[in-house]
Chains A and B, each alone.
Chain A
Amino acid sequence: AQSVTQLGSHVSVSEGALVLLRCNYSSSVPPYLFWYVQYPNQGLQLLLKYTSAATLVKGINGFEAEFKKSETSFHLTKPSAHMSDAAEYFCAVSASAGNMLTFGGGTRLMVKP
């Protein structure tokens, strides 16, 4: 069984500040991990994914995430927030086969001018 926990349903940062969105997972098998972003009234868009090639994963729009097996974490970061980053962010896990995604509850990122 797989599960994902996203700490903080709402995160607020100032423009230019560091963005840190937390994700912890549990999986009985080596996982694949994903971060998706959802803008209002739109579907989900992939930001980045971990597939065991490298523990530090770089994605689109300046985001990156680090896979830490010992902490079962896959936190999302961005050095400097932009107003356009305001959206809902979802962490998801899938097993090595089958590809069923299990999502966390989401974190709404708000960026203050």
Chain B
Amino acid sequence: SAVISQKPSRDICQRGTSLTIQCQVDSQVTMMFWYRQQPGQSLTLIATANQGSEATYESGFVIDKFPISRPNLTFSTLTVSNMSPEDSSIYLCSVATGTFPYEQYFGPGTRLTVT
């Protein structure tokens, strides 16, 4: 499986500011995903990020709030914009293998606290 790193690992931010989370993979992958895991909850898919195309957002998530970049096959960023305390969560990137059953592997996550 791919080795995935995320930066930062954690941050404390003030409301109204923005944070960009980086996800780096040690091999080229087509499909990358961004998830959110709120305390005591399961994982919720924010968007799918494919290189060379616009990210595809899930219901309840919009590009203005969570802009995503995917400049190449090993890197992606997720920005959490105009943060509020409700954005406090763990943000995870994942990558999928290129063949069925398209297993997903997760990065270590970014723990965000908004005050």
A and B physically associate: no
